Amino acid sequence: MKDTLTGGCLCGAVRYELRPGFRMRPYACHCTDCQRRTGSAFSLHMGIMAKDLTIDGELNEGKFLQPSGAISTITGCAKCMSRIYAAHDKRPGLASIRVGTLDNSKTMSPAAHFWVSNKQPWITIPEGVPTLETQPQSSEEWLQYVGPK
Ligand SMILES: [Zn+2]
Ligand SMILES: [Zn+2]
């Protein structure tokens, strides 16, 4: 995925461009925090370098203290409250884009599913897609599951 990607919020006030650079593959997270934050069954993330992202429009932020002690900040549109990306203070420079905000999100199927221990029972994960009961425990494991290909 070396092409420039574009995306934006629901109301159109926020638009962004993601330039070519280091990009992980998309993954689904079924943890209960993601369920609460999205009001849905899981969230779709893709790890990127924050420096490759240019955002136009008025933004706001929500903060959450994770059990690990990291402060997770989610940034989105101040008008319609669509969430665009998240970052946390223990991984400076990295961000996690909300895959559903990409214009070409249909081409982005999850390379892995994490926190399937909290998965909603009605969701069936396609055969052959890697799953973890929790999430990768090291950078090596993150790269192994959703690193660039
Ligand atoms: Zn908006
Ligand atoms: Zn999660």
Q: Tens of pLDDT along 86-140?
A: 998 888 999 999 999 999 999 999 999 999 999 999 999 999 999 999 999 999 9
Long-range contacts of 136-143 (CB under 8 A, 24+ apart): 142/24, 142/47
Closest CA to 76 of 52, 58, 96: 58
**Does 118 reside within a domain?**
yes
**Does residue 145 belong to any structural domain of this protein?**
no
Q: Indicate whether 13 pLDDT > 90.
A: yes
Number of domains in the chain: 1
Ligand 2 centre to CA of 11 (Å) is 25
Q: What is the pLDDT of residue 68?
A: 82
Instruction: Output the CA angle 127-135-32, nearest 5 degrees.
Output: 90
From the list 15, 2, 37, the residue with the least C-alpha distance to 101 is: 15
* Kind plus residue range of the DSSP H or E element containing 18: strand 15-18
Residue 148 lies in a domain: no
Say if 149 falls within a structural domain: no
Does 65 fall in a domain?
A: yes
**Closest ligand, as measured to the CA of 79:** 1
